[in-house]
Structure 1
Amino acid sequence: MRADPHVARFAVLRDAAEALLDELAERYMVDRRESKESLGAADALVRMERLMPRTPAAAPLAIAFTETPGIALRLGRWWVETLPGCACAVCDEDPAQLVELVRIQAAALVEGGLWERVRRGVGGSWYESRLIGVGINARREGPLTREDSREARRSGFAAAVQWAPWPLRAMPDDPGADQSQPI
């Protein structure tokens, strides 16, 4: 079976995600973990890479390498971006724009721009997330199961949580090294 060339063009997302993970792991104090996980109950196992900051006040980043080829970017507890959103020729998403979106969202996360909380209502509980940084000011929300809501509140998400910036790695004394460059 031949691969669809239109879908295959999204392989660049995987390359960009690998490069981003390498850059972040080199620049910030994080632990990098790889595993095989299912993204949903009926989904096959996919490779998942996680970057866990060495401070509990900073939010983790995870990238799942999907079969599309594409990625699912997870920031903090609830922010998830599946790219491409649709790989069909009609939607015609631009891989270069998707790569830029991943970099913008990751930069906002490592700079401490992710805010999350749980809201309780008559019909149940909802998560709320905001991601604010250079080039992004976005908000998302969605329902939580009773168990997820209870676990989130136990973890401190009953009040709004603003994740801290990621701690920088100590750089060698190199006058040419500029730690202020964006990712």
Structure 2
Amino acid sequence: MEDPPEDAYGRVTNPERFASLIPAAEVLIADLGRRFDVVVDRGPAPPSRSRTVATLELVTITPVQRDQAPLTITFTSFPGLYLRAGAWQDFALPACGCDACEEDAEDVLRELAEYAEALTAGRLSERITGRHRAVLEFSWEGDDWRRHGTTTLSAADVKELRARPVQPPADGHWWPWSPCR
């Protein structure tokens, strides 16, 4: 397989191929609000740090129980989504979108569904460990997939993470979302 040309990195000729993410996220938000004991808040998104992608709307889905991980979805002008899951899991869908990466919209839609299913099933774990060097450990488990990793943290990183309003349970393991009554 041949490497993509250098000019394909950073170039996005068809961002609209990800337009289906926006209605899919809306359907997901409605579904989660219907099935689970959560509060759904919608509002303006904070300003984007990107010079090319604007943030449009922020939707926070917060389970009533504090030991259940919240999900925040930020809609972007790309079109795409920024997700914050639990306390410290932040990622973009699509992850890049450039011509070189050749991300496929169907794969990105599948990722959105997988992350939502794992989160609601209580299959996210995140914690800070380490005596001499702080390490952020995370683990996601789906029905047929798993993602995990570690990141070494500076003292400033730990302070910033610990200052966030959402913190994981003491053991790092988030619980499954409670169904609506």
CA distance 1:81–1:155, shift in 2 (3 Å):
closer
Q: Tell me what 1:166 maps to.
A: 177
Residue among 59, 62, 65 paired with 1:55: 65
The whole-number CA distance in structure 2 between the counterparts of 1:128 and 1:17 is 27
The whole-number CA distance in structure 2 between the counterparts of 1:156 and 1:107 is 18
The residue type paired with residue 166 of structure 1 is: W
Task: Give the TM-score taking structure 2 as reference length.
Answer: 0.79
Query: How many residue pairs get matched?
Result: 164
Task: Give the TM-score taking structure 1 as reference length.
Answer: 0.78
Structure 1 residue 85, shift from structure 2 partner:
1.6
Structure 1 residue 89, shift from structure 2 partner:
2.3
Structure 1 residue 150, shift from structure 2 partner:
4.4
- Identity value in percent: 28
SS at match of 2:46: strand
The residue type paired with residue 120 of structure 1 is: G
CA distance 1:95–1:58, shift in 2 (3 Å):
same
Q: Deviations over 1:76-128 (max 9, x none)?
A: 011222111222223221101110111011101101101111123534x2321
Structure 1 residue 166, shift from structure 2 partner:
0.4
CA distance 1:12–1:150, shift in 2 (3 Å):
closer
CA distance 1:155–1:11, shift in 2 (3 Å):
closer
Structure 1 residues not aligned, in runs of 5+ = 171-183
Task: Note if contact 1:61-1:74 (Cα within 8 Å) is conserved in structure 2.
Answer: yes
CA distance 1:8–1:149, shift in 2 (3 Å):
closer
Task: Note if contact 2:83-2:92 (Cα within 8 Å) is conserved in structure 1.
Answer: yes
Task: Note if contact 1:118-1:149 (Cα within 8 Å) is conserved in structure 2.
Answer: no
Q: Deviations over 1:138-169 (max 9, x none)?
A: 113333614225447x9566x53211110101
Task: Note if contact 1:46-1:65 (Cα within 8 Å) is conserved in structure 2.
Answer: yes
The residue type paired with residue 16 of structure 1 is: A
Residue among 11, 17, 26 paired with 2:19: 11
The whole-number CA distance in structure 1 between the counterparts of 2:48 and 2:86 is 16
Residue among 126, 139, 150 paired with 2:148: 139
Structure 2 residues not aligned, in runs of 5+ = 1-11
The whole-number CA distance in structure 2 between the counterparts of 1:89 and 1:41 is 18
